[in-house]
Amino acid sequence: MKNMQFIDLKAQYRALKDEIDANIRGVLDSAQFIGGPYVKELEAQLAAFTDRKHCITCANGTDALQIAYMVAGVGAGDAVFCPDMTFISSTEPAKMFGATAVFCDITPDTYCLSPAGLERQIQAVLTEGKLTPKAAVAVDILGNPCDYDAIGAICEKYGLFLIEDAAQSFGASYHGKKACAFGHIATTSFFPAKPLGCYGDGGAIFTDDDAVDQLCRSLCVHGKGPGGKYDNVRVGMNSRLDAMQAAVLLPKLKALGDYEIDARQQVVERYGRAFAGKLTTPFVAEGCVSAWAQYALLAADTAQRDKIVAHLKEAGIPNMIYYPTPQHALPVFRDEPHYGETFRNADDYCARTFSLPMHPYLEQAEQRQIIDAVLEAL
């Protein structure tokens, strides 16, 4: 048996080799490694794909989120409302900028930010009166879109700046609108394992606001002003997507839109048929399409999860746990106030979840081996 991949980037490269190689040669021939035509073309295509007015590429998805926090004006005394089940890049900017991350429980089915949990925590912060509700971060976890109708209405009600963290959901859609089309500002990541990944690191920011677009471009280049990078009008950072990564992403973006999301869905359907009634399979709300960054199952309990994971390891089947610890339980956030929230759904999810190989090039024979190994462990 060949060495199975959790996400098979080699298979994707073989499928797109001619286009990727030609673009890389184009960058090398141009010797324009920062900025240039490939970056401009990628930004234009990303904006068109998501139907947003502006796309600003940057060095990685974490920088994209930090810039979004800076645009929101997050600082000391502010409360930023975040889902309890996510990766720390969604939440750590709150602490970096002196604000307080207020964690909210997730829904028991989509595992995304719970609208009811969000409003409950906003009201708790207002009742206490020590912090100012400033922003909310909606994370499309595992590629599954959040409930933006409900979350958007809550943010509007309380005057919160809404950030869509679409690091895992590029290519997904919510009632006909693509991921990255929501919030005052949206961000994504091009880390290689993401649905749209480059061959290093990269990220992007999306907005419909001209002023926000200019502010983001300034923040990406040391707070540059109208006079260019030596006219520094604010404190910014050094966060630019290099031309080589843009060259790689252009053919990958086309493949994602043409067939990769559909291919991921076919993989999901085969998993779903095999595990229905045996394990808790992922749920996608009506009118939504997941990008399926991960295929996460829930075992009956931690003991069963650990038994399955051990058997998969023994069988040479790669697997991961996204994520083993909810945000409120991480050492870095232990002093953050909980406002009486129990995080029941997030705790339950983290105790039972495990993820199987998931990518658009997963062959049916390989998938059969994965399915058989899981079923053997039950």
SS3 string of 99-156? CEEEEECECCCCCCECHHHHHHHHHHHHHHCCCEEEEEEEECHHHCCCCHHHHHHHHH
- The answer, yes or no, to whether residue 2 has pLDDT greater than 90, is no
Q: Does any domain span residue 89?
A: yes
Average pLDDT of 147-170? 98
Q: Does any domain span residue 217?
A: yes
Q: Does any domain span residue 284?
A: yes
Say whether both 273 and 198 belong to one domain.
no
Please give the structure tokens belonging to residue 132: 């100012």
Say whether both 228 and 302 belong to one domain.
no
Quick one: which H or E segment has residue 335?
none
**Which of 27, 87, 30, 34 lies closest to 57 in space, CA to CA?**
34
Say whether both 148 and 29 belong to one domain.
yes
Q: Does any domain span residue 150?
A: yes
Integer Cα distance of 318 and 337 in angstroms = 37
Integer Cα distance of 261 and 246 in angstroms = 20
Integer Cα distance of 326 and 86 in angstroms = 7
Say whether both 145 and 282 belong to one domain.
no
Say whether both 239 and 284 belong to one domain.
no
Q: For the chain, how many residues are written?
A: 378
Say whether both 245 and 364 belong to one domain.
no
Average pLDDT of 266-284? 98
- The answer, yes or no, to whether residue 1 has pLDDT greater than 80, is no
Segment 68-99, tens digit of pLDDT? 999 999 999 999 999 999 999 999 999 999 99
Angle between helices 302-314 and 364-377 (to 10 degrees): 130
**Which of 202, 302, 213 lies closest to 253 in space, CA to CA?**
202
pLDDT, the chain, mean: 97
Number of domains in the chain: 2
Domain end, chosen from 191, 219, 249, is at 249
Q: CA torsion sign, 263 to 87 to 196 to 308?
A: negative
- Neighbour-count burial of 132, counting CB atoms closer than 10 A to its CB (0-12 exposed, 13-18 middle, 19+ buried): middle
- The answer, yes or no, to whether residue 23 has pLDDT greater than 80, is yes
Q: Does any domain span residue 2?
A: no
Segment 322-345, tens digit of pLDDT? 999 999 999 999 999 999 999 999
Say whether both 167 and 23 belong to one domain.
yes
174 cis-preceded (ω within 30 degrees of 0): no
Q: What CATH number does the domain containing 71 carry?
A: 3.40.640.10
Segment 196-252, tens digit of pLDDT? 999 999 999 999 999 999 999 999 999 999 999 899 999 999 999 999 999 999 999
Please give the structure tokens belonging to residue 75: 């600082």
Q: What CATH number does the domain containing 327 carry?
A: 3.90.1150.10
Average pLDDT of 97-114? 98
DSSP string, 312-363: HHHTT---B-S-SS-GGGSGGGTTS--TT---HHHHHHHHHEEEE---TT--
Say whether both 131 and 279 belong to one domain.
no
Say whether both 230 and 299 belong to one domain.
no
pLDDT given for residue 63 in this prediction: 98
Say whether both 23 and 162 belong to one domain.
yes
Say whether both 282 and 185 belong to one domain.
no
- The answer, yes or no, to whether residue 178 has pLDDT greater than 60, is yes
- Are 355 and 294 spatial neighbours (Cβ–Cβ below 8 Å)? yes
Integer Cα distance of 250 and 227 in angstroms = 30
Question: Residue 346 belongs to what domain range?
Answer: 259-377
- Are 9 and 322 spatial neighbours (Cβ–Cβ below 8 Å)? no
What is the phi-psi region of residue 129: left when phi exceeds 0, alpha when psi lies from -120 to 50, beta otherwise? left
Beta-carbon contacts of 214 under 8 Å, excluding residues fewer than 6 positions away, are none
Q: Does any domain span residue 334?
A: yes
Please give the structure tokens belonging to residue 83: 């889902």
Q: Does any domain span residue 254?
A: no
Q: Does any domain span residue 1?
A: no
**Which of 231, 176, 180, 195 lies closest to 68 in space, CA to CA?**
180
Please give the structure tokens belonging to residue 95: 């602490």
Binned at pLDDT 50, 70 and 90, residue 269 comes out as very high
Domain end, chosen from 249, 271, 290, is at 249
Listed in sequence order, the DSSP H helices in the chain are 9-30, 37-50, 61-72, 92-96, 115-128, 148-158, 210-220, 243-255, 261-275, 302-314, 344-352, 364-377
Percent of the chain with pLDDT over 90: 99
Say whether both 18 and 138 belong to one domain.
yes
Average pLDDT of 290-308? 98
Domain end, chosen from 249, 280, 298, is at 249
